[in-house]
Structure 1
Amino acid sequence: GVQESKLQTIIDEVRSKGAKVVVLLSHNGMDVDIKLASRVTGLDAIMGGHTHDGMPAPVIVENASGKTLVTNAGSNTKFLGVLDFDVRDGKVSDFRYKLLPVFANFIEADPEMAKLVEKIRSPFAEKLAEPLAVTDGTLYRRGNFNGTFDQVILDALMAQKDAEIAFSPGFRWGTSLLPGDTITMEHLLDQTAITYPYTTVTDMSGEMIKTVLEDVADNLFNPDPYYQHGGDM
């Protein structure tokens, strides 16, 4: 869990050694970082992740010793968060923040890295390009609730497992597809190549299903951010 006292000790230590600016890189999510920023002192900014929020401006959080900036820069290198500090008399007097969108087709690829990527992908290129279907509508996995690609996966699980109901971990990654796009094997792997890819069939009562749904909802929407454990519905 979040260890406020340990973090405070580290902040105090680096300040005592002469640090004029202290920035925390986190993977807590915006809600947790906002609460954290209100309860520890000496942090100039928290630049975080986990909730994938593209923040056009930082949230300014007040605490016992001043203010802390809290921000996220989206996910999957869609944005670059740029935070500049104006440091005077040993402390931050002002800041400038920009959320820069990243358009891959406008950025020249690094030749060495492009060659490495091609080398790694080449044994699998034919399989990755295998066409599987054509989309009728937009397929996506975004937001806190069930997306259209989630529904495709769940429908497939029910069909393959002969199940009446299916659950899938809520993730917000993978390639979104527009109507009429070809779904390739790579697109399918984008959505399903996770660290626990197995599927199981289990007998569940209505009471158990209700408990699972309520538990997931609590993980997401508990009023206390420290009790939120991530995931999507």
Structure 2
Amino acid sequence: MSEPNVPLRVVLVDDQSLLRMGFRLVLEGADIEVVGEANDGAAGVRMVRELAPDVVLMDVRMPVMDGIEATRLITSETDSKVIILTTFDLDEYAFSGLQAGASAFMLKDAEPEELVRAVQVVSEGESIVAPRVTARLVEEYVKSAGQQKHSETNIYAQKVELLTPREQDTAKAIAEGLSNAEIAQQFFVSETTVKTHVRSILSKLHLRDRVQVVVFAYESGMVCPGHIEG
């Protein structure tokens, strides 16, 4: 997260120069600094290592190295947050990007204010973009993947057991797309208490942010496909 009064720093990774130009104009118009641009995943990874931006806008279909592998490297090696750019909201590449460690995904044809807000929210690390859409995306691909292998199921069960009952309830609520305020209201606790539970969940499960909690909740079976309303 950037210091107060210091512009957010963003790297754009997309093989279409016109799209990068459009994103740059939108972001710079909102006082967000675009510190670098790359036209393939490998160049993007090198740039992020060098420049350490707050947020990376990452296309998925690119030459040399696709955005999924680039996201995996960036999120495992740096503190930069990644937003996956996709054409369709229910896109297998978007789901793969979330599995690789991306903090959110958004459509390439999003409105300018949506792009700006996405960068701001993800840089804060306290929320995710379009949580209910993200939940439906995760649900769709967990459902299509079928049953987990027995060994994977055991590993997930062990991880779930690390959480207290209230932390498990909080993780399920996050997977439903609820905000901290909504979770606090549902469980009749303070928002500060919810934030404490969220920090504990992230620490115990070694997850980067809330969107990774959504992925974990579905893949572990804590939340079942079909649970989220449309």
TM-score norm. by structure 2 comes to: 0.27
* Structure with a larger share of its residues in helix: 2
- TM-score, normalising length: structure 1: 0.27
Between 1 and 2, higher relative CO (CA 8 Å, sep ≥ 6) is seen in: 2
Q: Which has the larger radius of gyration?
A: 1
Q: Could you say which structure has the higher strand fraction? A: 1
